[in-house]
Structure 1
Amino acid sequence: MPVHWQDIHRDLFPSFVVFLVALPLCMGIAVASGAPPGAGIMTGIIGGLVVGWLAGCPLQVSGPAAGLTVIVWELIQTHGFEGLGVIVLAAGLIQLLAAWLQCGQWFRAVSPAVVHGMLAGIGALIFASQFHIMIDDAPKGGGLANIATLPGAVLKGLLPDSDVPTSHQEAAWLGILTIACIVVWTTFVKGRWKVLPGVLLGVSASTLVATVFDLPVSHVVVKDNLFWVLHVPTTEQLAHLLDTTVLAEAFGLAFIASVETLLSATAVDQLHTGPRTRYNRELAAQGVGNTLCGLLGVLPMTGVIVRSAANVEAGARSRFSAILHGGWLLLFVALLPFALRLIPTASLGAVLVYTGYKLMDFDIVRDLRRHGRSEVLIFLTTMGTIVCTNLLTGVLVGLCLATAKLLYTTQNLETQFAHDPDSGRFTLHLRGIATFVSLPRLAAALESVPPSADLHVRFESLRHIDHACLHLIENWMWQHSTTRGKVTVDWDKLCGLSYQTRQAPRAKTRWQRWLQEGG
């Protein structure tokens, strides 16, 4: 890829804006995942310096994502932070394989109700767990436990407690200050100042207050040497790549990460008029990034819409903005690590509380309802299952419901009989779609025709018929003819509604041969 100084020059400012957005989010997501803050920053650096060069969506910014927080937290609880790298490595290799198989577009083939339900479920879990972090308390383990203990967390934030080394009450006020700054800035600030991220201002304000007043709250723990978080998997750990359990978890991680990345890329395309996303290349770039993250033992990555939208709004024109933001992250942690240690943990928790709230976008229910109540049911079921069980189970349940709805709609065959007493003729009207799922309904309709009756089949409103239904009708017509019944149907036109017939000339059926031979 040729490097033009003009592209680098005009993308300097957008890259710095994205860096300011990414820095607190990288740390906050790492803390929410149960990992060291440096692991999130390192993933952001790889997302910029490596994936930025390779990305199929030039203006998309990659890094640790809130959408993976829940699944990464569960993986760390099960395998430890050291064991996470093997799973991330396997997930990256799966993404590379999927890109090689040209599966990029297929990862977009997920029902919007499932996607929004997934995001809402993730948002609810992030909100509940990070609310405890926001008051300098520890999450309670599971999603339902975190939600059930929210009232107690509110009381801790309101009432002083001298029996703990840090102050829940003062941490809570710092969290409220952070959220207030974000909301006020994003709501009321207009014009050129809008490009400055409200997240950074909120974290900066709470850090300033905590430092000036020397508040007894927890702070981010970051060592001077960022590379201490790196953990290259050992040969023994790499042997787990053959473990079916590890491969299943890696496949789930790769699927969720790929869906989030490619849907984010689609959203980014709607924000600008530049080059469109090359989905297989983007999937391959994510695979390279996650493979490298796995080899270094840091957090997995996806394309992130929050950072990508900030990139576009700041005026980015090429991939150099994403690349440079990774360089800014690297320079900051290399030269100013002491500044990170001034940040209150409560402030990062507040950023994720706000993020979780935004992910729980219940306004989408109105849009989904316009497409039927079943879409709302899929949304709520996906969200509820994620909250009650885990992310992967919730997504699989949502996909199963969406598939069940598809099967139901594809068997939407209507049959209606009309009888003319004067002529004695029966007329069968077929409407909708006739597939193998509709066989019982179609068979019942045909079997209700009296023997020796004169039947006229009308199918002007039939949109499609598959081979199974054609075979059923043909066999019934043959049997009906043996009872001296008469059937009137434009067989060639009916067969023309079949996909197979439209793709290739169809051999003459037994029924057609029988008619040609004189019945």
Structure 2
Amino acid sequence: MKQVNPIRTLSTYKAGYLRQDLPAGLSVFLVALPLCLGIALASGAPLFSGLVAGMIGGIIIGTLSGSEVSVSGPAAGLAVIVADAIIKLGSYEAFLVAVVLAGVIQFVMGIIKAGRFSSFFPDSVIKGMLVAIGIVIILKQIPHALGRDNDYEGEFEFQQLADGENTISEIYRAIETASPGAVIISLISLAFLIIWDQTVGKSTKAVLKNFPAPLVVVCGGVALNEFFRTAVPEWYLGDTAHQHMVQIPTIAAGKSVFSIFDFPDFSMLAHPQIYGVAGTIALVASLETLLNLEASDRLDSQKRVSSTNQELIAQGIGNMLSGLIGGLPLTSVVVRTSANVYAGARTRVSAILHGVFLLVAVFLGGALLNLIPLSCLAAVLVMVGYKLAKPSIFKKVYRDGWSQFIPFIITVLGIIFTDLLIGIAFGAVVGIGFVLYTNFQSTFRVMRDGKKVLIEFDKDMYFLSKPQLKEALGQLRSGDDVVIDGRKAPFIDHDIFNMLHDFRETAKAQGIHYELQHITLSPRKKKHKTAVVS
């Protein structure tokens, strides 16, 4: 059995890991930057709130996390909840109180070890979630790659909030209005990433292997766009004020650094509705975090097992701090985590560094980063999506049998055509149904040798096994010598116990020799004497 990773000390982290963690942190930063801004925009919150949450998700949660590769930040799955809550509570400052309280709830959940809940989700559902997220990333980034940015970065819902389109119709609109400049930048960027992955990415030279290819793509995208400005103006994608560019808000001249922060209005503690909002945020954020943590363990090349309870504590602390200084609610996020893993991260240092880079970007690098076209970042995310949803994964799950493939494919389709949480719910219900069906199909065995029949229980007999057992009894024939052996079943459900004893009269009437051995109503009650009917 795998052991959960012990809490590590600073001495555990070798300086040599920076060769992998530094470029990985930079790659995650480039992916996280537009996502933080897009999710803040979709939530109806100040743009800085997404960046503040991203910093805390990297620096604070990254330090305290129960995982070495998970990366936290504002989550698209909470955008609708946040937008509704801000309207319901009347102000963003009031909403921040709910974020702080949600953090307290998560902290308590971690203390009481509620993290074990994630183990109830079938493995096929976790696989389906990863593949579906990969497909959604690709579908959602195609419009940005074509220069259409009506929908915000980071949205996962099929029905889009920003422009009333859906995932498929948005791609159609993007093809109709494709920008030549964006198409050229995205295609060149994607081609570079594919070639890099197939050649330099497989190189044994550490310097080349660990160099962040997304950084080259970003620099190339900026250079190409600046070239279009002078050489082909009609292909130019605009400047810092244009919709297609990264748009980090800048601190107004003469304003204090603290002007970017919002602070909670704790007078709202007197309003009962604040607690309902806090509970909703805590439950949804915790569920998404626990599922993503299961996924991050699957992605981790070193196959480490994260501490779910430690993660809930870390998320709780992160959300308390985020609420106190104006940030959005936080969860562990698969998009950032997968970008982190595929960039070669070894330890949590990469997540921490991505938070530091966000901090530097806000205070020092805004003007420069606003020159980045979203089309080159779209290419980076498309590659991440492809690695999550490779065709070989479908083939492997299909070979595992229908009991794995059906919950897997339902999860995939559910997430693509609804949203993350609804899709997971569909998959989980079907997956658990298959687990129950499979489990109760193999609770007993029927062995026949001529007229001699042995019905042997292999495990506890719950009421769900009653139909199969009743059918087996109905197939017995006159003259059969039947023994029902319950020694391997410590528990036998009351309905099954009664059915077995009631069948004595049926057996007698049909001329069946019928014997019950080691049949007990419960493990605490005295076993009944063997019943024989001739």
- TM-score, length of structure 1 as denominator length: 0.77
Aligned mates of 1:8, 1:360 — CA distance in 2: 32
What amino acid sits opposite 1:507 in the alignment?
K
Q: Which residue of 2 aligns with 1:136?
A: 148
Aligned mates of 2:480, 2:517 — CA distance in 1: 16
Identity percentage over the alignment? 22
Secondary structure of 2:151's partner? coil
Aligned mates of 2:263, 2:23 — CA distance in 1: 32
Aligned partner (choices 378, 387, 403) of residue 349 of structure 1: 378
In the TM superposition, 1:22-37 aligns within 5 A as: 22-33=28-39, 35=41
Aligned mates of 2:432, 2:266 — CA distance in 1: 41
- TM-score, length of structure 2 as denominator length: 0.75
Secondary structure of 1:507's partner? coil
Residue 108 of structure 1 contacts residue 263 of structure 1 at CA under 8 Å; is this kept in 2? no
Q: Which residue of 2 aligns with 1:50?
A: 60
What amino acid sits opposite 1:51 in the alignment?
I
The Cα offsets for residues 412-464 of structure 1, whole Å up to 9 and x where unpaired, read as 156758596xxxx663535766431121232344356579x664225599888
The Cα offsets for residues 442-496 of structure 1, whole Å up to 9 and x where unpaired, read as 2344356579x6642255998886334651355226646987977554623x55x
Structure 2 residue 310 is matched with structure 1 residue 293:
no
Q: Which residue of 1 aligns with 2:529?
A: 512
Aligned mates of 1:27, 1:18 — CA distance in 2: 14
Aligned mates of 2:38, 2:311 — CA distance in 1: 26
Secondary structure of 1:327's partner? helix
Secondary structure of 2:246's partner? coil
In the TM superposition, 1:212-227 aligns within 5 A as: 212-214=227-229, 215-217=236-238, 218=242, 219-225=245-251
The Cα offsets for residues 85-123 of structure 1, whole Å up to 9 and x where unpaired, read as 577556544533332222334314322321232233333
Q: Which residue of 2 aligns with 1:145?
A: 166
Q: Which residue of 1 aligns with 2:391?
A: 362
In the TM superposition, 1:64-103 aligns within 5 A as: 64=73, 68-69=75-76, 71-75=77-81, 78-79=84-85, 82=92, 89=100, 92-103=103-114
Q: Which residue of 2 aligns with 1:211?
A: 226
Structure 2 residue 187 is matched with structure 1 residue 176:
yes
Aligned mates of 1:481, 1:3 — CA distance in 2: 69
Aligned mates of 2:501, 2:361 — CA distance in 1: 76
After superposition, the Cα gap between the structure-2 partners of 1:55 and 1:29, relative to the gap in structure 1 and judged at 3 Å, is same
Structure 2 residue 288 is matched with structure 1 residue 256:
yes
Secondary structure of 2:415's partner? helix
Aligned mates of 2:407, 2:8 — CA distance in 1: 47
Structure 2 residue 142 is matched with structure 1 residue 112:
no
The Cα offsets for residues 303-326 of structure 1, whole Å up to 9 and x where unpaired, read as 653354368x4665xx55544553
1:405, CA displacement in angstroms?
Answer: 0.6
Structure 2 residue 487 is matched with structure 1 residue 456:
no
Q: Which residue of 2 aligns with 1:471?
A: 497
Aligned partner (choices 399, 402, 412) of residue 441 of structure 2: 412
Aligned mates of 1:324, 1:345 — CA distance in 2: 22
Secondary structure of 1:213's partner? helix
After superposition, the Cα gap between the structure-2 partners of 1:415 and 1:223, relative to the gap in structure 1 and judged at 3 Å, is closer
Residue 415 of structure 1 contacts residue 429 of structure 1 at CA under 8 Å; is this kept in 2? yes
Q: Which residue of 2 aligns with 1:165?
A: none
What amino acid sits opposite 1:64 in the alignment?
G
Stretches of structure 1 that go unaligned for 5 or more consecutive residues are 158-167
Aligned residue pairs total 483
Structure 2 residue 88 is matched with structure 1 residue 62:
no
Q: Once superposed, what is the RMSD of the aligned Cα atoms?
A: 4.1
Aligned mates of 1:23, 1:336 — CA distance in 2: 13
Residue 97 of structure 2 contacts residue 274 of structure 2 at CA under 8 Å; is this kept in 1? no
Aligned mates of 2:258, 2:513 — CA distance in 1: 80
1:232, CA displacement in angstroms?
Answer: 3.6
Stretches of structure 2 that go unaligned for 5 or more consecutive residues are 1-6, 153-157, 230-235, 252-256
Secondary structure of 1:364's partner? helix
Residue 26 of structure 1 contacts residue 40 of structure 1 at CA under 8 Å; is this kept in 2? no
What amino acid sits opposite 2:302 in the alignment?
L
Aligned mates of 1:98, 1:439 — CA distance in 2: 38
What amino acid sits opposite 1:387 in the alignment?
I
Structure 2 residue 400 is matched with structure 1 residue 371:
yes
